[in-house]
Amino acid sequence: MIDFLFSYETLRFIWWGLLGTLLVGFAVMDGFDMGVGALLPFVARTDIERRVAINTIGPVWEGNQVWFILGGGAIFAAWPALYALSFSGFYLAMFLVLFALILRPVGFKYRSKRASRTWRTRWDWALFVGGAVPALIFGVAVGNALQGVPFHLTPDLRPIYDGSFFGLLNPVALYCGLVSLAMLVMHGAAWLAFKADGTVGARARTIGPKAAIVSAVLFAGGGLLVWTGLLGGYRVTSPIVWDGPSNPLRKSVVADGGAWLANFQAHPVLWLVPALGILAPLSAAAGFRAGREGLTFLASKLAVAMIITTAGIAMFPFLLPSSTAPDHSLAAFDASSSRATLRTMLLAVGIFLPIILAYTAWVYRVLWGKVSEKSIEQAGHSAY
């Protein structure tokens, strides 16, 4: 059993699953933080209302962003070729995301340093950018991955990006960006309805159903793009060797319009994932209207997880296909670190991930309860 668990084939499959888990964890945990930032100008009109909205995420956003760091670390250690290509080819997009994310801690720390209305309004818009821009760009990145990214590998496996920043902003990628933005706005509204008392929570319950329905409709529309072959797809035509060396140049790949449906057709039970990706946001919309705050937030979490998981299942075993040199595409079976690296990292994850989960659960238990205007007034300057 131990030999099977630590075989190269099993380790590669486990780390593909762990990468997906970390990315889903980031979207679920930090996604509502970004959603609250994107909603800030619309759910809060006075300074005290904005402080209510900000204080629902102020104590937890840093811990939630740990999932982003873990995901980046997993890519760096387990899938170095993917890391090298993503952070070089997508450099400007990554810079834009990091710039927006940096605005969040600065906005949280500085907006209440002065009582000036102009000062605070500017930082509130910075928090809006810090929420809306990453939510959009992350979806654009997924859209480009689904279509294939223009790159090739040199004989010594050095990745060369053949595209441009503005080439990433194509219609299909922007469509996926809108799916991501609508999904996280829904998630942020669900969090505010669950956590914020008074006017802010009421406005979130008004906006939330609309965002949830838009999420379901856009996600279903993306499914039609896949079904009709307009989104493209890639298929490995050579034998797949899961325990072979990490060399993406040793396989044959062809573009195939129906390839992203192959895993679902081979394993029909997997159709439950995209089905839940549509049903969960519709359930969240119903929960908003029924005032079932806890169930609404759970449905929103499920929607986020299922929408992202659908993309991962569709692309498997690809990590990042190449549109200009399909044979150079990065796949889970030929773009990983060594067996020893994956094994050592898995042992570390087995120790530290449960600790992170336990600590996260404890933090949310301690911070249980709604944030109200009265609690902000009583906290005074200690609140954001």
In this predicted structure, what is the pLDDT of residue 380?
A: 62
In this predicted structure, what is the pLDDT of residue 228?
A: 66
In this predicted structure, what is the pLDDT of residue 89?
A: 76
Where is 255: in which H helix or E strand? strand 253-255
* Residue from 310, 9, 73, 346 nearest 183 by CA: 310
Q: What is the mean pLDDT of each run of 10 residues along the chain (384 residues)?
A: 75 93 91 94 90 89 85 88 84 87 88 85 92 94 92 89 84 94 97 92 95 96 76 90 91 91 94 96 95 93 96 95 94 92 90 87 85 73 58
* Residue from 306, 286, 295 nearest 223 by CA: 306
> Under 8 Å CB-to-CB from 284, ≥6 apart: which residues?
186, 190, 208, 209, 212, 296, 299, 300, 303
The neighbour count for residue 5, using CB atoms within 10 Å, is 11
Question: What dihedral do alpha carbons 128, 131, 134, 138 form, nearest 10°?
Answer: -130
pTM: 0.92
In this predicted structure, what is the pLDDT of residue 264?
A: 94
Counting every residue written for the chain, the total comes to 384
In this predicted structure, what is the pLDDT of residue 304?
A: 97
In this predicted structure, what is the pLDDT of residue 359?
A: 86
Q: Residue 56 in contact with residue 127, Cβ under 8 Å?
A: no
In this predicted structure, what is the pLDDT of residue 63?
A: 83
